[in-house]
Amino acid sequence: MASRFQAPRGTFDVLPAAARSRARIEATAARIFARAGYEPIATPAFEETELFERGVGRSTDIVRKEMFTFEDKGGRSITLRPEGTAPVCRAYLEHGMHKLAQPVKLSYTGPFFRHERPQAGRHRQFHQLGVEAIGTDSPLADAEAIMLLADLLAELGVPGVELRLGSLGSPAARQAYLEELKAHLRANEAELSKDVRERIELNPLRAFDADDEGTRGVMAAAPKLVERLEDADAEHFAEVRALLGGAGVDFEIDPSLVRGLDYYTRTIFSFVCAELGAQSEVGGGGRYDGLIEQLGGPPTPAIGWAAGIERILLALGEQDEAPGRDAFIAVADDGQRQRAMALAGELRNAGLAVEVDLAGRSLKGQLKHADRVGARHAAILEADGSIQLRDMRSGEQRPADASRLAEEIGGEAS
């Protein structure tokens, strides 16, 4: 029954088994966010293209190659959001949230879009969970944000998670460092990959991310940004490390940690899971103290992260089992079908999970179907109006009263 239509390349359908696992991940995250006071926010699936050009950065892969950008009917350039931080900051400014008590702590979940080469854990439409704490530069906020993601991954049972931590420092110190790094890259140009060589001037930090042997060799000997931090940034970073240590969060300092977005300053972090293979990052983020100003707002420090739901699912490597039903209402005689439907409605309103035959099956067929959907009971409506309640596990059957059915089924529901 295949049709010539398929989900577009890099996208996928979420079928019920996977949808259940996703719902559980989102519910766990919502609980963790609420417990720490991160209020939910939702922004549109598309924004003005310039928001991302300015926010994410014109030299990033995301803006250069990966955005789904189109003109709307009014000739405006629109982009399907590749990430959530710039949109949340746009909303923060648009709704005057800088006038609220700071920091404003927000959480979100939803679809994001990047035109990447599809592979396991990398899709063109994917889903993120994330938080942003806007309006504080305190290292406490860095530690809190990181702890939330650590808690989420632990509570979900994601195996083999490691936290990598780094600091990018202030833009000024980073500028001086970048000149030093560029000089190192230029001095070793012959060993670099073509891609890295072409971007020495535009984005030399990305060279740390390269996976070809030549570039990796050059980068092993490159100067490291964490060794070049200014005093205030170094202190900030030391404080974040001390807070995480005090909270019992394990981490590793990664001097070559870089992220694919330009807005980061000071703390950056990445939670990786070895079992994921090439796309090993389950979630990550960092501080972006200059982004709100970049978007036209007042100077406003902030920190946040996002985790990929598909990567979490992949790392968990399992799907949630279908929940059973409390009861299936079967009819021994077609004359009882109307009553069966009414009874199913009553039982559902009483909070029970109840199905009824919608396919005109014989009684034998109905009981088989009751078994298939995992019903714990079958209430069989006989031709004379009496009811037999069957325990689907033991096969035992006994007469039951319609007015007490909810109690009898509910009392035994596990």
Instruction: Report the interface residues with ligand HAM, using CB under 6 A.
Output: 83-85, 114, 116, 121-123, 126, 128, 130, 132, 259-261, 281-286, 288, 304-308, 310-311
Please say which residue, 131 or 353, places its beta carbon nearer to ligand HAM. Answer: 131
Compute the least distance from the CB of residue 310 to ligand HAM, in Å.
5
To the nearest whole angstrom, how small is the minimum distance from the Cβ of residue 395 to ligand HAM?
A: 47
Of the pair 83, 262, the CB lying nearest ligand HAM is at 83
Q: Which residues of 51-89 are buried (b: 16+ CB within 10 A; e: fewer)?
A: bbbbbbbeebbbbeebbebeeeeeeeeebbbbbbbbbbb
Distance in Å, CB of 272 to ligand HAM, minimum: 9
**What span, in angstroms and rounded, lies between the C-alpha atoms of 413 and 376?**
7
Nearest distance from C-beta of residue 281 to ligand HAM, angstroms: 4
Task: Report the residue number, 276 or 378, with the smaller CB distance to ligand HAM.
Answer: 276
Of 2 and 7, which has the nearer Cβ to ligand HAM? 7
Closest residue to ligand HAM, based on beta-carbon distance: 308
* CA gap 23, 298 in Å, rounded: 37
Q: How far is the CB of 176 from ligand HAM (least distance, A)?
A: 24
Q: Which is nearer to ligand HAM, 29 or 185 (CB)?
A: 29
**Rounded to the nearest whole angstrom, what is the least distance from the CB of residue 69 to ligand HAM in the complex?**
16
* Smallest separation (angstroms) from ligand HAM to the CB of 258: 11
- Minimum distance of ligand HAM from residue 268's CB (angstroms): 9
Cα torsion through 254, 255, 261, 266, rounded to 10:
100
- From the list 115, 49, 56, 114, the residue with the least C-alpha distance to 89 is 56
Whichever of 114 and 325 has its CB closer to ligand HAM, that residue is: 114
Toward ligand HAM, which CB reaches closer, 124 or 377? Answer: 124
Nearer to ligand HAM, 218 or 306 (CB): 306
Is the CB of 123 or the CB of 174 nearer to ligand HAM? 123
To ligand HAM, the closest distance from the beta carbon of 410 in angstroms equals 41
